[in-house]
Amino acid sequence: MNFTFENILLGCSILLFIGIIASKTSGKTGVPVLLLFLGIGMLAGSDGIGGIYFDNYKAAESLGSISLALIIFSGGLDTKWESIKPILWRGVSLSTLSVLITALVVGVFVSWISDFSLLEGLLLGSIVSSTDAAAVFSILRTKNIGLKRNLRPTLEFESGSNDPMAYFLTIGVTGLLVNPESSIISLIPSFFIQMILGSLGGYLMGRVSLWLINHIKLENDGLYPVLTLSLAIFTFAGTNYVNGNGFLAIYIAGMVMGNNNFIHKKSLIRFYDGVAWLMQILLFITLGLLVFPKQIVPVIGIGLLVSLFLIFVARPLSVFISLLFFRMSVREKVYISWVGLRGAVPIVFATYPLLSGVNQAETMFHIVFIIVLTSVILQGTTLGVVANWLHLSVPEKLRRKSALELELADNEKNALIEVEIPPQSKAVGKTIVGLDFPKTSLIVMIKRDNGYIVPNGATEIKSGDNMLIMAADEREIDRVHQVLDIA
Protein backbone atom coordinates (compact mmCIF):
# COMPACT_ATOMS: atom_id res chain seq x y z
CA MET A 1 0.00 0.00 0.00
CA ASN A 2 1.17 3.49 -0.82
CA PHE A 3 1.20 5.30 2.54
CA THR A 4 -0.06 8.73 1.55
CA PHE A 5 -1.47 11.09 4.15
CA GLU A 6 -5.00 10.24 2.97
CA ASN A 7 -4.35 6.50 3.32
CA ILE A 8 -3.02 6.99 6.85
CA LEU A 9 -6.11 8.99 7.81
CA LEU A 10 -8.36 6.35 6.28
CA GLY A 11 -6.58 3.55 8.11
CA CYS A 12 -6.66 5.40 11.45
CA SER A 13 -10.37 6.13 11.14
CA ILE A 14 -11.14 2.50 10.31
CA LEU A 15 -9.09 1.19 13.24
CA LEU A 16 -10.72 3.70 15.61
CA PHE A 17 -14.19 2.73 14.42
CA ILE A 18 -13.49 -1.00 14.74
CA GLY A 19 -12.05 -0.44 18.23
CA ILE A 20 -15.09 1.50 19.42
CA ILE A 21 -17.56 -1.04 17.98
CA ALA A 22 -15.57 -3.91 19.48
CA SER A 23 -15.65 -2.21 22.88
CA LYS A 24 -19.44 -2.70 22.99
CA THR A 25 -18.91 -6.45 23.31
CA SER A 26 -16.37 -6.22 26.13
CA GLY A 27 -18.96 -5.88 28.88
CA LYS A 28 -20.78 -9.02 27.74
CA THR A 29 -17.69 -11.15 27.14
CA GLY A 30 -15.74 -9.92 30.18
CA VAL A 31 -12.75 -9.01 27.99
CA PRO A 32 -11.19 -5.66 29.01
CA VAL A 33 -11.77 -3.10 26.26
CA LEU A 34 -8.10 -2.11 26.19
CA LEU A 35 -7.15 -5.69 25.36
CA LEU A 36 -9.43 -5.46 22.33
CA PHE A 37 -7.68 -2.30 21.15
CA LEU A 38 -4.31 -3.99 21.57
CA GLY A 39 -5.51 -7.04 19.64
CA ILE A 40 -6.85 -4.87 16.81
CA GLY A 41 -3.45 -3.21 16.51
CA MET A 42 -1.71 -6.59 16.35
CA LEU A 43 -4.15 -7.90 13.72
CA ALA A 44 -3.56 -4.78 11.63
CA GLY A 45 0.22 -5.18 11.91
CA SER A 46 2.67 -6.79 9.54
CA ASP A 47 2.22 -10.26 11.10
CA GLY A 48 -1.58 -9.89 11.04
CA ILE A 49 -4.25 -9.60 8.37
CA GLY A 50 -3.71 -5.85 7.95
CA GLY A 51 -0.11 -6.14 6.80
CA ILE A 52 0.83 -2.68 8.14
CA TYR A 53 4.56 -2.58 8.89
CA PHE A 54 5.34 -0.21 11.75
CA ASP A 55 8.60 -0.21 13.71
CA ASN A 56 9.10 3.47 14.51
CA TYR A 57 9.89 3.33 18.23
CA LYS A 58 10.58 7.07 18.37
CA ALA A 59 7.11 7.89 17.03
CA ALA A 60 5.55 5.37 19.43
CA GLU A 61 7.47 6.87 22.37
CA SER A 62 6.42 10.41 21.49
CA LEU A 63 2.78 9.44 21.00
CA GLY A 64 2.90 7.33 24.16
CA SER A 65 4.28 10.13 26.33
CA ILE A 66 1.72 12.76 25.30
CA SER A 67 -1.09 10.18 25.44
CA LEU A 68 -0.15 9.14 28.97
CA ALA A 69 0.14 12.78 30.01
CA LEU A 70 -3.40 13.58 28.82
CA ILE A 71 -4.80 10.35 30.35
CA ILE A 72 -3.19 11.26 33.67
CA PHE A 73 -4.47 14.85 33.38
CA SER A 74 -8.01 13.56 32.85
CA GLY A 75 -7.60 11.29 35.86
CA GLY A 76 -6.41 14.24 37.95
CA LEU A 77 -9.45 16.31 36.92
CA ASP A 78 -11.69 13.46 38.06
CA THR A 79 -9.88 12.89 41.38
CA LYS A 80 -11.82 14.41 44.26
CA TRP A 81 -9.90 15.60 47.30
CA GLU A 82 -12.76 14.49 49.56
CA SER A 83 -12.31 10.94 48.28
CA ILE A 84 -8.52 10.72 48.53
CA LYS A 85 -8.02 12.72 51.74
CA PRO A 86 -8.78 9.72 54.01
CA ILE A 87 -6.41 7.49 52.00
CA LEU A 88 -3.77 10.04 50.96
CA TRP A 89 -0.75 8.66 52.79
CA ARG A 90 -1.46 5.02 52.04
CA GLY A 91 -1.83 6.05 48.40
CA VAL A 92 1.49 7.91 48.49
CA SER A 93 3.16 4.86 50.03
CA LEU A 94 1.75 2.63 47.28
CA SER A 95 2.82 5.04 44.54
CA THR A 96 6.41 5.37 45.79
CA LEU A 97 7.62 2.67 48.19
CA SER A 98 5.60 -0.11 46.55
CA VAL A 99 6.92 0.84 43.11
CA LEU A 100 10.52 0.81 44.38
CA ILE A 101 10.13 -2.58 46.09
CA THR A 102 8.51 -4.08 42.99
CA ALA A 103 11.37 -2.87 40.78
CA LEU A 104 14.01 -4.29 43.15
CA VAL A 105 12.35 -7.67 43.70
CA VAL A 106 11.56 -8.23 40.02
CA GLY A 107 15.05 -7.04 39.05
CA VAL A 108 16.79 -9.55 41.34
CA PHE A 109 14.49 -12.35 40.14
CA VAL A 110 15.10 -11.59 36.45
CA SER A 111 18.89 -11.51 36.90
CA TRP A 112 18.68 -14.83 38.76
CA ILE A 113 16.67 -16.77 36.14
CA SER A 114 18.15 -15.25 32.96
CA ASP A 115 21.35 -13.96 31.41
CA PHE A 116 20.38 -10.38 32.26
CA SER A 117 22.82 -8.52 34.50
CA LEU A 118 21.52 -7.19 37.81
CA LEU A 119 21.29 -3.66 36.39
CA GLU A 120 19.46 -4.93 33.29
CA GLY A 121 17.10 -6.86 35.54
CA LEU A 122 16.47 -3.73 37.59
CA LEU A 123 15.66 -1.85 34.39
CA LEU A 124 13.06 -4.45 33.44
CA GLY A 125 11.69 -4.33 36.99
CA SER A 126 11.50 -0.53 36.84
CA ILE A 127 9.61 -0.61 33.53
CA VAL A 128 6.86 -2.86 34.93
CA SER A 129 6.86 -1.46 38.47
CA SER A 130 3.79 0.81 38.27
CA THR A 131 0.13 0.00 37.83
CA ASP A 132 -1.47 1.50 34.75
CA ALA A 133 -3.90 4.42 35.14
CA ALA A 134 -5.54 3.81 31.77
CA ALA A 135 -6.14 0.13 32.52
CA VAL A 136 -7.33 0.62 36.12
CA PHE A 137 -9.62 3.58 35.34
CA SER A 138 -11.03 1.83 32.28
CA ILE A 139 -11.77 -1.54 33.88
CA LEU A 140 -13.09 -0.24 37.22
CA ARG A 141 -15.39 2.26 35.52
CA THR A 142 -16.58 0.38 32.44
CA LYS A 143 -17.33 -2.73 34.49
CA ASN A 144 -18.95 -0.61 37.25
CA ILE A 145 -17.07 -2.45 40.00
CA GLY A 146 -18.27 -1.15 43.37
CA LEU A 147 -15.81 -1.53 46.26
CA LYS A 148 -16.08 -1.03 50.01
CA ARG A 149 -13.92 0.88 52.48
CA ASN A 150 -12.34 3.48 50.21
CA LEU A 151 -10.67 0.80 48.09
CA ARG A 152 -11.65 2.37 44.79
CA PRO A 153 -10.17 5.83 45.50
CA THR A 154 -7.06 4.10 46.85
CA LEU A 155 -6.60 2.10 43.66
CA GLU A 156 -7.37 5.01 41.33
CA PHE A 157 -5.10 7.39 43.25
CA GLU A 158 -2.28 4.86 43.23
CA SER A 159 -2.57 4.16 39.51
CA GLY A 160 -2.80 7.87 38.69
CA SER A 161 0.19 8.88 40.80
CA ASN A 162 2.69 6.02 40.60
CA ASP A 163 3.82 6.55 36.99
CA PRO A 164 6.22 9.37 38.00
CA MET A 165 8.16 7.00 40.26
CA ALA A 166 8.34 4.29 37.59
CA TYR A 167 9.37 6.89 35.01
CA PHE A 168 12.16 8.15 37.27
CA LEU A 169 13.46 4.62 37.91
CA THR A 170 13.31 3.69 34.22
CA ILE A 171 15.14 6.82 33.08
CA GLY A 172 17.61 6.58 35.96
CA VAL A 173 18.59 2.93 35.43
CA THR A 174 18.71 3.46 31.65
CA GLY A 175 21.19 6.28 32.29
CA LEU A 176 23.32 3.98 34.47
CA LEU A 177 23.47 1.37 31.70
CA VAL A 178 24.29 3.90 28.98
CA ASN A 179 26.89 5.68 31.15
CA PRO A 180 28.66 2.98 33.22
CA GLU A 181 30.87 5.59 34.90
CA SER A 182 27.83 7.21 36.57
CA SER A 183 26.94 6.24 40.12
CA ILE A 184 23.64 5.00 41.50
CA ILE A 185 24.10 7.52 44.33
CA SER A 186 23.60 10.29 41.77
CA LEU A 187 19.97 9.16 41.38
CA ILE A 188 19.08 10.28 44.91
CA PRO A 189 19.40 14.07 44.38
CA SER A 190 17.90 13.63 40.91
CA PHE A 191 14.85 11.98 42.46
CA PHE A 192 14.20 14.83 44.88
CA ILE A 193 14.78 17.47 42.19
CA GLN A 194 12.33 15.78 39.81
CA MET A 195 9.62 15.27 42.42
CA ILE A 196 9.93 18.74 43.99
CA LEU A 197 9.92 20.52 40.63
CA GLY A 198 7.08 18.30 39.43
CA SER A 199 4.98 18.99 42.52
CA LEU A 200 5.63 22.74 42.52
CA GLY A 201 5.21 23.05 38.76
CA GLY A 202 1.95 21.12 38.81
CA TYR A 203 0.47 23.09 41.69
CA LEU A 204 1.49 26.48 40.30
CA MET A 205 0.27 25.69 36.79
CA GLY A 206 -2.99 24.37 38.22
CA ARG A 207 -3.54 27.71 39.97
CA VAL A 208 -2.45 29.72 36.94
CA SER A 209 -4.77 27.68 34.72
CA LEU A 210 -7.72 28.31 37.04
CA TRP A 211 -7.08 32.05 37.05
CA LEU A 212 -6.69 32.23 33.27
CA ILE A 213 -9.81 30.19 32.53
CA ASN A 214 -11.93 32.27 34.90
CA HIS A 215 -10.59 35.69 33.85
CA ILE A 216 -9.65 35.52 30.19
CA LYS A 217 -13.34 35.73 29.09
CA LEU A 218 -13.08 34.18 25.64
CA GLU A 219 -15.83 35.22 23.25
CA ASN A 220 -16.06 31.77 21.70
CA ASP A 221 -16.87 29.01 24.20
CA GLY A 222 -15.34 26.44 21.87
CA LEU A 223 -11.88 27.88 22.61
CA TYR A 224 -11.92 26.88 26.30
CA PRO A 225 -11.00 23.22 25.56
CA VAL A 226 -8.18 24.51 23.34
CA LEU A 227 -6.99 26.84 26.10
CA THR A 228 -6.95 24.11 28.75
CA LEU A 229 -5.26 21.69 26.34
CA SER A 230 -2.46 24.19 25.69
CA LEU A 231 -2.03 24.78 29.43
CA ALA A 232 -1.95 21.04 30.19
CA ILE A 233 0.65 20.31 27.51
CA PHE A 234 2.71 23.33 28.63
CA THR A 235 2.64 22.00 32.20
CA PHE A 236 3.92 18.60 31.08
CA ALA A 237 6.51 19.79 28.58
CA GLY A 238 7.63 22.81 30.61
CA THR A 239 8.23 20.74 33.73
CA ASN A 240 10.23 18.19 31.74
CA TYR A 241 12.23 21.05 30.21
CA VAL A 242 13.44 22.20 33.65
CA ASN A 243 14.24 18.58 34.63
CA GLY A 244 11.11 18.11 36.71
CA ASN A 245 8.74 15.14 36.51
CA GLY A 246 6.15 16.09 33.89
CA PHE A 247 3.82 13.19 34.68
CA LEU A 248 3.61 14.23 38.35
CA ALA A 249 3.13 17.87 37.37
CA ILE A 250 0.24 17.28 34.99
CA TYR A 251 -1.51 14.99 37.49
CA ILE A 252 -1.27 17.56 40.29
CA ALA A 253 -2.37 20.34 37.92
CA GLY A 254 -5.42 18.28 37.00
CA MET A 255 -6.22 17.66 40.68
CA VAL A 256 -5.92 21.35 41.55
CA MET A 257 -8.28 22.28 38.73
CA GLY A 258 -10.73 19.46 39.35
CA ASN A 259 -11.17 20.41 43.01
CA ASN A 260 -11.94 24.06 42.30
CA ASN A 261 -14.65 25.83 40.33
CA PHE A 262 -13.96 27.19 36.87
CA ILE A 263 -15.94 28.19 33.81
CA HIS A 264 -17.51 25.29 31.85
CA LYS A 265 -16.12 22.81 34.36
CA LYS A 266 -18.57 19.99 33.61
CA SER A 267 -18.27 20.27 29.85
CA LEU A 268 -14.46 20.45 30.03
CA ILE A 269 -14.27 17.37 32.27
CA ARG A 270 -16.45 15.50 29.77
CA PHE A 271 -14.23 16.76 26.95
CA TYR A 272 -11.09 15.40 28.63
CA ASP A 273 -12.81 12.13 29.39
CA GLY A 274 -13.30 11.79 25.63
CA VAL A 275 -9.71 12.87 24.98
CA ALA A 276 -8.48 10.24 27.45
CA TRP A 277 -10.46 7.54 25.67
CA LEU A 278 -9.12 8.67 22.29
CA MET A 279 -5.56 8.61 23.63
CA GLN A 280 -6.08 5.14 25.11
CA ILE A 281 -7.43 3.78 21.84
CA LEU A 282 -4.66 5.34 19.74
CA LEU A 283 -2.01 4.27 22.23
CA PHE A 284 -3.05 0.63 22.46
CA ILE A 285 -3.60 0.27 18.72
CA THR A 286 -0.19 1.86 18.02
CA LEU A 287 1.52 -0.41 20.54
CA GLY A 288 -0.27 -3.37 18.97
CA LEU A 289 1.13 -2.35 15.58
CA LEU A 290 4.59 -2.05 17.13
CA VAL A 291 4.61 -5.67 18.30
CA PHE A 292 5.74 -8.45 15.97
CA PRO A 293 4.21 -11.69 17.29
CA LYS A 294 6.84 -13.84 15.56
CA GLN A 295 9.56 -12.13 17.60
CA ILE A 296 7.69 -12.76 20.86
CA VAL A 297 7.69 -16.57 20.56
CA PRO A 298 11.32 -17.09 21.74
CA VAL A 299 10.73 -15.15 24.99
CA ILE A 300 7.27 -16.48 25.90
CA GLY A 301 8.69 -18.80 28.57
CA ILE A 302 10.69 -16.19 30.48
CA GLY A 303 7.96 -13.60 29.92
CA LEU A 304 5.29 -15.79 31.51
CA LEU A 305 7.61 -16.71 34.39
CA VAL A 306 8.39 -13.05 35.17
CA SER A 307 4.73 -12.11 34.80
CA LEU A 308 3.54 -14.79 37.25
CA PHE A 309 6.29 -13.83 39.70
CA LEU A 310 5.23 -10.17 39.45
CA ILE A 311 1.53 -10.98 39.98
CA PHE A 312 1.83 -13.55 42.77
CA VAL A 313 5.04 -12.55 44.59
CA ALA A 314 6.48 -9.11 43.84
CA ARG A 315 3.22 -7.11 43.80
CA PRO A 316 1.75 -8.67 47.00
CA LEU A 317 5.10 -8.32 48.79
CA SER A 318 5.42 -4.65 47.86
CA VAL A 319 1.80 -3.90 48.81
CA PHE A 320 1.97 -5.60 52.22
CA ILE A 321 5.27 -3.88 53.08
CA SER A 322 4.14 -0.42 51.92
CA LEU A 323 0.84 -0.73 53.84
CA LEU A 324 2.43 -2.20 56.95
CA PHE A 325 1.69 0.83 59.12
CA PHE A 326 -1.84 1.51 57.85
CA ARG A 327 -5.03 0.13 59.36
CA MET A 328 -6.27 -2.21 56.65
CA SER A 329 -7.51 -5.79 56.67
CA VAL A 330 -5.64 -8.63 55.00
CA ARG A 331 -8.51 -9.01 52.51
CA GLU A 332 -8.15 -5.37 51.45
CA LYS A 333 -4.39 -5.74 50.97
CA VAL A 334 -4.91 -8.93 48.98
CA TYR A 335 -7.34 -7.15 46.66
CA ILE A 336 -5.03 -4.16 46.19
CA SER A 337 -2.30 -6.68 45.33
CA TRP A 338 -4.54 -8.26 42.72
CA VAL A 339 -5.38 -4.92 41.08
CA GLY A 340 -1.76 -4.54 39.99
CA LEU A 341 -2.76 -4.09 36.37
CA ARG A 342 -0.03 -3.44 33.84
CA GLY A 343 -1.11 -1.70 30.65
CA ALA A 344 0.25 0.77 28.13
CA VAL A 345 2.66 2.49 30.53
CA PRO A 346 5.24 -0.35 30.72
CA ILE A 347 5.17 -0.77 26.94
CA VAL A 348 5.77 2.96 26.44
CA PHE A 349 8.54 2.95 29.07
CA ALA A 350 10.10 -0.07 27.33
CA THR A 351 10.75 2.11 24.27
CA TYR A 352 13.14 4.34 26.27
CA PRO A 353 15.94 1.70 26.51
CA LEU A 354 15.39 0.89 22.81
CA LEU A 355 15.96 4.51 21.83
CA SER A 356 18.98 4.74 24.15
CA GLY A 357 20.67 1.68 22.66
CA VAL A 358 20.63 -0.42 25.84
CA ASN A 359 21.85 -3.99 25.44
CA GLN A 360 18.99 -6.54 25.22
CA ALA A 361 16.44 -3.72 24.94
CA GLU A 362 14.46 -5.56 22.25
CA THR A 363 14.22 -8.67 24.42
CA MET A 364 13.02 -6.49 27.31
CA PHE A 365 10.36 -4.93 25.08
CA HIS A 366 8.92 -8.32 24.12
CA ILE A 367 9.02 -9.59 27.71
CA VAL A 368 7.20 -6.45 28.85
CA PHE A 369 4.54 -7.02 26.22
CA ILE A 370 3.94 -10.58 27.49
CA ILE A 371 3.72 -9.26 31.07
CA VAL A 372 1.13 -6.67 30.05
CA LEU A 373 -0.88 -9.19 28.05
CA THR A 374 -0.88 -11.68 30.92
CA SER A 375 -1.83 -9.03 33.47
CA VAL A 376 -4.75 -7.65 31.47
CA ILE A 377 -6.10 -11.14 30.67
CA LEU A 378 -5.62 -12.72 34.10
CA GLN A 379 -6.23 -9.79 36.43
CA GLY A 380 -8.34 -7.50 34.26
CA THR A 381 -11.03 -10.13 33.65
CA THR A 382 -11.32 -11.17 37.30
CA LEU A 383 -11.45 -7.92 39.31
CA GLY A 384 -15.16 -8.26 40.01
CA VAL A 385 -14.92 -11.99 40.79
CA VAL A 386 -12.05 -11.52 43.26
CA ALA A 387 -13.88 -8.61 44.94
CA ASN A 388 -16.87 -10.89 45.48
CA TRP A 389 -14.69 -13.72 46.81
CA LEU A 390 -13.11 -11.35 49.33
CA HIS A 391 -16.52 -9.86 50.25
CA LEU A 392 -15.34 -6.39 49.28
CA SER A 393 -17.84 -5.59 46.53
CA VAL A 394 -20.77 -3.23 47.04
CA PRO A 395 -24.22 -4.83 46.62
CA GLU A 396 -25.63 -4.28 43.14
CA LYS A 397 -28.64 -2.28 44.35
CA LEU A 398 -26.47 0.16 46.27
CA ARG A 399 -23.79 0.23 43.59
CA ARG A 400 -26.07 1.64 40.96
CA LYS A 401 -27.34 4.33 43.29
CA SER A 402 -23.87 5.15 44.55
CA ALA A 403 -22.83 6.08 41.05
CA LEU A 404 -25.79 8.45 40.63
CA GLU A 405 -25.02 12.15 40.49
CA LEU A 406 -27.78 14.72 40.34
CA GLU A 407 -26.59 17.78 38.44
CA LEU A 408 -28.08 21.04 39.71
CA ALA A 409 -25.90 23.73 38.19
CA ASP A 410 -22.66 24.10 36.30
CA ASN A 411 -20.54 23.88 39.43
CA GLU A 412 -22.86 22.21 41.93
CA LYS A 413 -24.25 18.72 42.30
CA ASN A 414 -25.79 16.43 44.86
CA ALA A 415 -24.03 13.12 45.29
CA LEU A 416 -25.31 9.77 46.50
CA ILE A 417 -22.59 7.81 48.29
CA GLU A 418 -22.51 4.39 49.93
CA VAL A 419 -20.59 3.82 53.18
CA GLU A 420 -20.22 0.88 55.53
CA ILE A 421 -20.07 1.40 59.31
CA PRO A 422 -16.97 -0.34 60.73
CA PRO A 423 -17.16 -2.07 64.14
CA GLN A 424 -14.84 0.51 65.74
CA SER A 425 -16.91 3.50 64.62
CA LYS A 426 -18.01 5.87 67.40
CA ALA A 427 -21.38 6.11 65.66
CA VAL A 428 -22.26 2.50 66.53
CA GLY A 429 -25.05 2.42 69.12
CA LYS A 430 -26.12 6.01 68.55
CA THR A 431 -29.39 7.10 67.02
CA ILE A 432 -29.39 9.20 63.88
CA VAL A 433 -30.77 12.18 65.79
CA GLY A 434 -27.87 11.80 68.23
CA LEU A 435 -25.30 12.23 65.47
CA ASP A 436 -23.88 15.63 64.62
CA PHE A 437 -24.88 14.96 61.02
CA PRO A 438 -24.54 17.75 58.44
CA LYS A 439 -27.90 19.46 57.95
CA THR A 440 -27.48 19.39 54.20
CA SER A 441 -26.93 15.62 54.10
CA LEU A 442 -29.53 12.86 54.40
CA ILE A 443 -29.39 9.12 55.14
CA VAL A 444 -31.70 7.78 52.44
CA MET A 445 -31.54 4.05 53.20
CA ILE A 446 -29.73 1.51 55.35
CA LYS A 447 -28.96 -2.06 54.29
CA ARG A 448 -28.80 -4.25 57.38
CA ASP A 449 -28.31 -8.01 57.18
CA ASN A 450 -30.50 -9.08 54.26
CA GLY A 451 -33.01 -6.26 54.42
CA TYR A 452 -33.34 -2.54 53.77
CA ILE A 453 -34.45 0.12 56.26
CA VAL A 454 -35.85 3.57 55.57
CA PRO A 455 -34.38 5.35 58.62
CA ASN A 456 -35.79 8.01 60.89
CA GLY A 457 -34.29 10.01 63.74
CA ALA A 458 -34.75 7.14 66.24
CA THR A 459 -32.97 4.55 64.07
CA GLU A 460 -29.95 3.14 65.90
CA ILE A 461 -26.68 2.75 63.99
CA LYS A 462 -25.20 -0.75 64.04
CA SER A 463 -21.86 -2.20 63.01
CA GLY A 464 -21.87 -3.37 59.41
CA ASP A 465 -24.69 -1.07 58.31
CA ASN A 466 -24.45 -0.07 54.66
CA MET A 467 -25.78 3.48 54.33
CA LEU A 468 -26.92 5.28 51.21
CA ILE A 469 -26.35 8.97 51.91
CA MET A 470 -27.22 12.04 49.87
CA ALA A 471 -24.82 14.94 50.37
CA ALA A 472 -25.63 18.49 49.30
CA ASP A 473 -22.28 18.75 47.58
CA GLU A 474 -19.03 16.84 47.48
CA ARG A 475 -17.47 18.97 50.23
CA GLU A 476 -20.00 17.47 52.66
CA ILE A 477 -18.71 13.94 52.04
CA ASP A 478 -15.63 14.47 54.20
CA ARG A 479 -17.83 15.78 57.02
CA VAL A 480 -20.07 12.70 56.74
CA HIS A 481 -17.01 10.45 57.03
CA GLN A 482 -15.89 12.31 60.16
CA VAL A 483 -19.29 12.03 61.84
CA LEU A 484 -19.54 8.31 61.10
CA ASP A 485 -15.89 7.80 62.09
CA ILE A 486 -14.98 6.18 58.78
CA ALA A 487 -11.29 6.17 57.86
Kindly list the structural domains of the chain, giving each domain's residue range(s) and its CATH number in brackets, ordered by start.
54-271+299-389 (1.20.1530.20), 396-483 (3.30.70.1450)
Residue 438 · residue 470 · CB < 8 Å: no
d(CA 484, CA 487): 9
Go through the chain and tell me how many residues it has.
487
Residue 97 vs residue 297, higher pLDDT: 97
Categorize the per-residue pLDDT at 157 as very low, low, confident or very high, splitting at 50, 70 and 90: confident
Categorize the per-residue pLDDT at 235 as very low, low, confident or very high, splitting at 50, 70 and 90: very high
Categorize the per-residue pLDDT at 473 as very low, low, confident or very high, splitting at 50, 70 and 90: low
Stretch 426-433: mean pLDDT: 84
Q: Given a cut of 60, is residue 410 above it in pLDDT?
A: no
Q: Would you state the pLDDT for residue 400? A: 44
Q: Given a cut of 80, is residue 79 above it in pLDDT?
A: yes
Q: Given a cut of 70, is residue 408 above it in pLDDT?
A: no
Q: Would you state the pLDDT for residue 29? A: 47
User: What is the value of pTM for the model shown?
Assistant: 0.75
Stretch 84-89: mean pLDDT: 86
Q: Given a cut of 80, is residue 135 above it in pLDDT?
A: no
Query: What string of H, E and C letters represents the secondary structure of 252-305?
Result: HHHHHHHCCCCCCHHHHHHHHHHHHHHHHHHHHHHHHHHCCHHHHHHHHHHHHH
Residue 447 · residue 465 · CB < 8 Å: yes
Q: Would you state the pLDDT for residue 104? A: 96
Q: What is the pLDDT of residues 32-62, one digit of tens each?
A: 566 677 777 777 766 666 667 777 778 888 8
Q: How many CB atoms lie within 10 A of CB 463?
A: 13
